[in-house]
Amino acid sequence: MDGGQQYLPQDRPPYEPTSGVDPIARDAFWQILVELARQDHVTIFISTHFMNEAERCDRIALMHAGKVLVSDTPGNITRERGAATLEDAFIGYLEDATSPQAPAEAKAPVEPARIPVGSGSARLGRFFDVRRMLAYLRRESLELRRDPIRLSLALFGSVFLMFVVAYGINLDVDNLTFAVLDRDQTSTSENYILNLAGSRYFVEHAPITDYAELDRRMRNGELSLAIEIPPHFGRDLARGSNVEVAAWMDGSMPTRGETVRGYIQGIHAAWIADQLRIRFGERAATGPFRLEVRYRYNPGVESLVAIAPAIIPLLLMLIPSMLSALSVVREKELGSIINLYATPVTRLEFLLGKQTPYIALSMASFLLLWAFAVGVFRVPFTGSGFAFTLGALLYLAAATGIGLVMSSFTRTQVAAIFGTAILTIVPAVQFCGLTDPVSSLQGAGAVVGRIFPTTYFVTIARGTFSKGLGLGDLSEAFLPLLMPCQCCSASARRS
């Protein structure tokens, strides 16, 4: 049954799948074969001695003693033989083949056509043929279409992980819950509390009555901050006496605790300066100078604006490399890679045919990540879209090339997944400028950071998103992306 794609049995002779099967199970089995051939375009080779089964095939070959008697469609074979049924035609061919009067026609051997050795097209066809490469490309595309899990992972896996990772490592600290243990209950203490409650970083909860309640509410995670205002706070402040305000912070997460500490110190200093201005005039609260800080490219100092563009290179390294590695290792594990050894397809044609569909799918995933970063996360894109897209194309070629290299060292799909994930994620996160600049690294970490392609695509992503850069400004980041593509292809060909 000819559907367009061939699946040949590996390391086993042809067998008759319906021999000894009851009629109901046989019909169900043939229904599956027909759906594979007609809907999924799979070529299926069947060996059978039932003529009613042979009539269902698109093309048949009648054999006797290891020789093909005739090969054609069932209808043509019946008509050419002038028989009523295919079985009668088969019997006629068998009688002719076994008849002792059958003349043995001597046929002169046909000499195969010879191609001149000096032909340039012949030499090129031996090493690379676009048609053979496109045949494997089409085959891998059909495999992806029949496997909705892999197809969904290639298209939407990166988008799902972007939501998880971008929000998971968001360093912005706001909407912190706090409550006050006010032992003074004066207008001055209320003014101090309003100074905190009016900040966009804090959300006030019900007041605290005693230390036991303070401890209980901080233990169960209800409060991130507790403020204790001592007795006679307003009176001592008016007299100029030293007054201490206690701030109890949840330090279970050190980074978050340090951020809360900085917020409290800044709000406290602003409140003191405001009180000095009220009591002693404007000049009392003004020092000899005042430092005004302005942030470029990210005026709101929002971590998501910096993290979302950097997450895109991380995800485009992980999933495409894993999928390209699985595409080859799956052939090894199933044994179908033997077909490659029995055909004139070169390794380069095979690898390019395997790699190209995943580059195309990953480019579609890249566009989705770009759209979600701008539309959902509200990250402004200020640079060149062409430069960003070109950088993504080169980067995905390098990422899928790394996956092909990994496929040459692994024999099972599980090993390919774990090996590729570890050898891509660890360098991308630790040494490629995602959290620390590559220029600050030393030793082996600096070497890895300078040769791994994620370093340069992170530069392209952040430059085009936040800094308004174009192709000319980022030319130094594009050139290194060409080297991993060439190195990965050469290494995969040698393997």
Is there a single domain that holds both residue 343 and residue 270? Answer: no
Measuring CA to CA, how many Å separate 389 from each of 369, 385, 395?
Answer: 12, 6, 10
Same domain, yes or no, for 275 and 314?
no
Q: Which pLDDT score, from 0 to 100, does residue 390 have?
A: 93
Is 313 in the same domain as 376?
A: yes
318, 279: one domain = no
The dihedral built from the CA positions of residue 16, 17, 23 and 27, taken in this order, carries a sign that is negative
In a domain, 260, yes or no: yes
Find the mean pLDDT for residues 48-70. Answer: 84
Query: How would residue 156 be classed by pLDDT, with cut points 50, 70 and 90?
Result: confident
Q: Are residues 336 and 466 in the same domain?
A: yes
Domain around 344? 149-168+302-494
Q: Is the pLDDT of residue 111 over 60?
A: no
Residue 461 is predicted with a pLDDT of 92
Q: Verify that 164 and 188 share a domain, yes or no.
A: no
Give yes or no: residues 332 and 212 share one domain.
Answer: no
Average pLDDT over residues 150-167: 81
Whether residue 111 lies inside any domain: the answer is: no
264 & 312 share domain: no
pLDDT tens digit string along 422-438? 999 888 888 888 777 88
- Structure confidence by residue, pLDDT tens digits, 160-210: 888 877 766 666 677 788 899 988 888 888 888 888 887 778 888 889 888
The CATH number for 261's domain is 3.40.1710.10
Q: Judge whether 123 lies within some domain.
A: no
353 falls within a domain: yes
In-domain check, residue 119: no
**In this structure, is residue 83 part of a structural domain?**
yes
What percent of the chain is predicted at pLDDT more than 70? 84
Report if residue 125 sits inside a domain: no
Residue with tokens 């004066």: 186
Tell me the pLDDT tens digit for each residue of 378-397: 888 998 999 999 999 999 99
Q: Which of 98, 116, 132 is the last residue of a domain?
A: 98
Please check whether residues 417 and 347 belong to one and the same domain: yes
Q: Are residues 88 and 226 in the same domain?
A: no
Pick the closest to residue 157 from 310, 307, 371, 318 (CA basis): 318
Average pLDDT, the chain: 80
Which residue, 232, 260, 285, sits at the end of a domain? 285
Domain limit, last residue, from 285, 320, 338: 285
Indicate whether 188 and 160 sit together in one domain: no
85 lies in a domain? yes
pTM over 0.85: no
Q: Report the distance separating Cα 278 and Cα 288, nearest Å.
A: 19
Give the pLDDT score at 12.
45
Whichever domain contains 85, its CATH number is 3.40.50.300
Average pLDDT over residues 244-273: 83
Residues 186 and 164 in one domain: no
Q: What confidence tier does 367 reach under pLDDT thresholds 50, 70, 90?
A: very high
The total of structural domains in the chain comes to: 3
